[in-house]
Chain A
Amino acid sequence: MTKLDAKIPEGALADKWTKFRSSVSLVNPANKRSLEIIVVGSGLAGASAAASLAELGYKVKVFCFQDSPRRAHSIAAQGGINAAKNYQNDGDSVYRLFYDTIKGGDYRAREANVHRLAEVSGSIIDQCVAQGVPFAREYGGLLSNRSFGGTQVQRTFYAAGQTGQQLLLGAYSSLQRQVGMGNVKMYTRHEMLDVVTIDGKARGIIARDSVTGALERHFGHAVLLCTGGYGNVFYLSTNAMGSNVTAAWKAHKKGAFFANPCYTQIHPTCIPVSGDHQSKLTLMSESLRNDGRIWVPKKQNDNRKANEIPEDERDYYLERRYPAFGNLVPRDIASRAAKERCDAGYGVGASKMAVYLDYAAAIVRYGKGEANKNNMHNPSDEEIQAMGKAVVKEKYGNLFDMYKQITGEDPYEVPMRIYPAVHYTMGGLWVDYNLMTTVPGLYALGEANFSDHGANRLGASALMQGLADGYFVIPYTIGAYLASEIRTPAMSTDSEDFVAAEKAVRDRLETLMNIKGSKPVDYFHKRLGKIMWDECGMARSAEGLKASIKEIQALQKEFWSDVKIPGEIDNLNPELEKAGRVADFLELGELMCIDALDRNESCGGHFRTEYQTEDGEALRDDENYAYVAAWEYEKQSTFKLHKEELKYENIKIAQRSYK
């Protein structure tokens, strides 16, 4: 078995990063100018990495499939970004953020990476404020914080319910500044369709210009994949329509190991599915659990309207089961608890597959608070309601508006109906401490890698990780590789390897176009999504997974013989793009089931029904499964498992408890 070397620096946990930064190889400024770096993806990780590397003097090319780098799906992140600033004086520290993240990830993340993440978290906030990111502030002019799940401190910085947008626009501004200065060349409406490797090293990519259909070859001394997660394997998710696994999957097939593919985050608070026409699901930010209370009726199949159910007939099941954390338990736990109540017959709404997220109590509490502030001694109920709603509007207005637009119901008047939905993927390309995959010169940043969140990501940590990787990690760690590349001149893209890679991409596109079957791409994507949601979603079993693997293999065959793609290969063709992505999802879905079947334990978002405690909590098996499962692609449907043992030297590994 190959030994995976995570290249974790020696020394005490708290000193590793400092020591590494001070001793890693450097590339002098003159040499940086002749080193070329390709960045694929322009979200938080990609935009921040590209801008920072260009500032250092490297020649950077950035690719994104959207019409502008500002569209990347980081833009949709709502609630906030964590940082161990301890501005609230409530006991936060780098160690506590590190500890919360490891525990939240159900002890399946790498200690050294997570500690580094916590160490640089504060600098991210500093950097963003310096860029002009308008975070929420208190009346004294200082930054405001709120709480997120799995923590007992207030360390989340936010900009209303649009934190991702503001952070991405900050990174995008920095990126565009480098574009304007000529240090970054931007390729929009371009999709990466393969990694080119020469003598075992990543040396470039093949990209398709979506507008003309032309295939292009691009050289880079290093290639950074910042392409996000693969939640769209489920068809319905909170991801954008275009979010896909293609770049990561092509890298996987060129030798990059794929780690922990089965670790999927199902977010507890999303707007429920309304019908078969549905194309995507919409998140209602976790920040809403700061103030909202989650409940279902105490009676099964209760058909009364929410407002008709009296207080003592409501079951605030998270507060009941987890008094210490209440509504702010981590996402995996909150999601399973919602599923449990609905499966047991206590669900609400027409489909009975929803629970209530209720703001009535918060509106009254805020209204009374405002009355006190304004010296109103006997406020009427109407006044309390009006003032309370105003406060809620300021904090969460855009989320409430979004809920109303989608459902047609007013959440200021009736509780929201919510249900869990696929949101994030903790799994991804395996990377070492330097964020390099098992292919030399090929890196993965942000959600595209597997590194920091273990089996469950805490809320407001994705933005932190994406920006940490891009602003503060890769600018240092890439030196370890590029310092040895200074004698490699830029290579011609007319070499055999580039030509062959382009030909393989063209052949595949032509094969897809020539199937001329009878069913649109969506037909296959929906069927894959249903298999994944039913058998590899919130609850998994050996039996179901085995059956799913067979079903997916059959679906792969059907796809490749019956998909129908209209239009031309050399014109804008969204169906052709989608077909390529779904073909990759069909292979990834199979690997996710294989990984879930291999992991005979429950941990974080991976819940195997055979492995649970008496009260239905995830039951880990640390003796046999405290490892990262890194899969090597061998051939179609054949993957080889490599294990990276997880060593906990600073944290005592324990049954996770939020009670």
Chain B
Amino acid sequence: MEGHLNLTLKIWRQKNASVAGKFETYQVSGISTDMSFLEMIDVLNNRLIEEGDDPVAFDHDCREGICGMCSMYINGRPHGPNRGVTTCQLHMRSFQDGETITVEPWRASAFPVIKDLVVNRSAFDRIIAAGGFVSVNTGNAQDANSLPIPKDNADEAFAAAACIGCGACVAACKNASAMLFTSAKVSQLALLPQGQVEAATRAQAMVAQMDEEGFGACSNTGACEAECPKGISIENIARMNREYFSATFSSK
């Protein structure tokens, strides 16, 4: 049933990339437990606007957990306390009346802050541009059913492809590694016959781009998997390492 909460919010405020940020404290009251976390921020923002203050900038779009745009680091965890949900699908019934909630942007040097809670994740796009595709121009495809694919492989490829590119894995990692994100795409395509032709070059090119963007190394703590809102498995990292090393050893 619906209840109402009074909360203290400590939110990271930073005007733009070139100035230092700091935490500001806000009180909000009468927050319905049926609200999503972002709707709670909407309430705060409309109040700030009416009071003549600058509202908190944050990324969000679909608000149904699939676009990957929302990105808040809540009480020390990407997307907040619940497993398997994005911030937009986190509801206030997960919090207690009187609680203090700390909200920060993703922290990673490869994701510079743009304003407040908004960060620049374009490094992910560049990793995909380096090799996260099958090189097939429009019009070159054969009939979709001419190549049967074992259901298990298709299901596993789908599980890896479910990544929403939100960057929680990077935010959760003490090294700010992008291995889970990168390996999810490498795995998806390596598991399918269509992707196997370029499997070796893909793994090498994507890993090289990942390193160039300044993401850290993987030290196998598994925080990325634990915080991933879509449950992307770290088995993908093992699979990418196999692809990468076999490509490196067999390179001409």
Complex interface bits, B103-139 against A, C-beta within 8 A gives 1, otherwise 0 = 0000000000011001011101100111111111111
Pair A169/B161 contact, Cβ less than 8 Å = yes
Pair A173/B128 contact, Cβ less than 8 Å = yes
A66 to B115, CA, bound (A): 15
Pair A130/B134 contact, Cβ less than 8 Å = yes
Pair B148/A472 contact, Cβ less than 8 Å = no
Residue of B nearest to A140 (CB): B148
Pair A73/B52 contact, Cβ less than 8 Å = no
Give the shortest distance, in Å, between A529 (CB) and chain B (any CB).
15
Is B97 located at the chain interface by the 8 A CB criterion?
no
Residue of A nearest to B115 (CB): A572
Pair A134/B34 contact, Cβ less than 8 Å = no
Query: Given A141-B148, A166-B158, A277-B39, A402 and B65 touching (CB < 8 A)?
Result: yes
Pair B42/A277 contact, Cβ less than 8 Å = yes
Residue of A nearest to B193 (CB): A132
Residues on A with beta carbons closer than 8 Å to the beta carbon of B42: 277, 279, 522
Pair B144/A125 contact, Cβ less than 8 Å = yes
Pair A566/B49 contact, Cβ less than 8 Å = yes
Among the interface residues A186, A278, A518, A566, which one has the most CB atoms of the partner chain B within 10 A? A566
Pair A174/B133 contact, Cβ less than 8 Å = yes
Within 8 A of B (CB), among A186-211: 186, 188, 211
Residues on B with beta carbons closer than 8 Å to the beta carbon of A128: 144
Residues on B with beta carbons closer than 8 Å to the beta carbon of A571: 15-16, 115
Within 8 A of B (CB), among A139-171: 139-143, 159-160, 162, 165-166, 169
Is B208 located at the chain interface by the 8 A CB criterion?
no
Stretch at the interface among B149-157, B220-228, B233-241, B243-251: B149-157
A215 to B36, CA, bound (A): 34
How many residues on chain A are close to B (CB under 8 Å)?
A: 84
Query: Given A123-B141, A159-B158, A141 and B151 touching (CB < 8 A)?
Result: yes
Pair B138/A127 contact, Cβ less than 8 Å = yes
Report which of B50, B61, B131 forms a contact with A520, defined as CB distance below 8 A: B50
Stretch at the interface among A176-184, A444-452, A540-548: A176-184
Complex interface bits, B68-85 against A, C-beta within 8 A gives 1, otherwise 0 = 110000000000000011
Pair B84/A126 contact, Cβ less than 8 Å = no
Give the shortest distance, in Å, between A123 (CB) and chain B (any CB).
7
Residues on B with beta carbons closer than 8 Å to the beta carbon of A278: 39
Query: Given A130-B141, A132-B195, A179-B125, A277 and B35 touching (CB < 8 A)?
Result: yes
Give the shortest distance, in Å, between A405 (CB) and chain B (any CB).
5
Give the shortest distance, in Å, between B144 (CB) and chain A (any CB).
4
Residues on B with beta carbons closer than 8 Å to the beta carbon of A211: 114-115
Give the shortest distance, in Å, between A339 (CB) and chain B (any CB).
23
Pair B63/A132 contact, Cβ less than 8 Å = no
The dominant DSSP class at the B interface is loop
Pair A67/B132 contact, Cβ less than 8 Å = no
Is A29 located at the chain interface by the 8 A CB criterion?
no
Is A280 located at the chain interface by the 8 A CB criterion?
yes
Report which of B2, B125, B144, B188 forms a contact with A68, defined as CB distance below 8 A: B125
Query: Given A127-B141, A141-B151, A142-B145, A240 and B61 touching (CB < 8 A)?
Result: yes
Pair A132/B138 contact, Cβ less than 8 Å = no
A15 to B16, CA, bound (A): 58
Residue of B nearest to A131 (CB): B134
* Interface magnitude class on chain B: 35 or more
Query: Given A85-B144, A176-B133, A180-B130, A69 and B61 touching (CB < 8 A)?
Result: no
Residues on A with beta carbons closer than 8 Å to the beta carbon of B192: 132, 134
Residues on A with beta carbons closer than 8 Å to the beta carbon of B36: 279, 406
Is A275 located at the chain interface by the 8 A CB criterion?
yes
Report which of A67, A142, A475 forms a contact with B120, defined as CB distance below 8 A: A67
Residue of A nearest to B47 (CB): A520
Is A379 located at the chain interface by the 8 A CB criterion?
no
Query: Given A51-B138, A130-B134, A405 and B66 touching (CB < 8 A)?
Result: no
Pair A143/B144 contact, Cβ less than 8 Å = yes
Complex interface bits, A391-417 against B, C-beta within 8 A gives 1, otherwise 0 = 000000000011001101000000000
Among the interface residues A133, A172, A186, A238, which one has the most CB atoms of the partner chain B within 10 A? A133
Report which of B34, B45, B118, B151 forms a contact with A275, defined as CB distance below 8 A: B34
Residue of A nearest to B56 (CB): A574
Residue of A nearest to B132 (CB): A173
Residue of B nearest to A471 (CB): B138
A280 to B61, CA, bound (A): 10
A511 to B226, CA, bound (A): 48
Pair A137/B151 contact, Cβ less than 8 Å = yes
Is A71 located at the chain interface by the 8 A CB criterion?
yes
Give the shortest distance, in Å, between B244 (CB) and chain A (any CB).
19
Is B20 located at the chain interface by the 8 A CB criterion?
no
Within 8 A of B (CB), among A615-647: none
A48 to B137, CA, bound (A): 11
Among the interface residues A241, A274, A283, which one has the most CB atoms of the partner chain B within 10 A? A241
Give the shortest distance, in Å, between B158 (CB) and chain A (any CB).
4
A179 to B128, CA, bound (A): 10
Pair B137/A55 contact, Cβ less than 8 Å = yes
Pair B57/A574 contact, Cβ less than 8 Å = yes
Is A564 located at the chain interface by the 8 A CB criterion?
yes
Residues on B with beta carbons closer than 8 Å to the beta carbon of A649: none
Pair B158/A131 contact, Cβ less than 8 Å = no
Residues on B with beta carbons closer than 8 Å to the beta carbon of A564: 49-50
Report which of B2, B68, B140, B194 forms a contact with A132, defined as CB distance below 8 A: B194
Report which of B48, B84, B154, B189 forms a contact with A136, defined as CB distance below 8 A: B154
Within 8 A of A (CB), among B40-60: 42-43, 45-46, 48-50, 52-55, 57, 59-60
Is B217 located at the chain interface by the 8 A CB criterion?
no
Pair B125/A132 contact, Cβ less than 8 Å = no
Residues on A with beta carbons closer than 8 Å to the beta carbon of B2: 274-275
Residues on B with beta carbons closer than 8 Å to the beta carbon of A138: 151
A572 to B142, CA, bound (A): 46
Give the shortest distance, in Å, between B44 (CB) and chain A (any CB).
12
Known: A131-B134, A135-B144. 6 other contacts (CB 8 A): A132-B194, A134-B161, A172-B128, A174-B136, A176-B128, A572-B57
What are 28 residue pairs bridging A and B, where the CB atoms are less than 8 Å apart in the complex?
A: A48-B138, A68-B122, A71-B62, A76-B64, A122-B144, A123-B141, A126-B143, A129-B147, A130-B141, A132-B194, A134-B154, A137-B148, A137-B154, A142-B145, A162-B162, A173-B128, A180-B130, A241-B60, A275-B2, A275-B34, A279-B42, A280-B64, A406-B91, A520-B50, A523-B46, A566-B52, A566-B53, A572-B114
The 4 nearest A-B residue pairs measured at CB: A141-B148, A180-B129, A130-B141, A173-B133
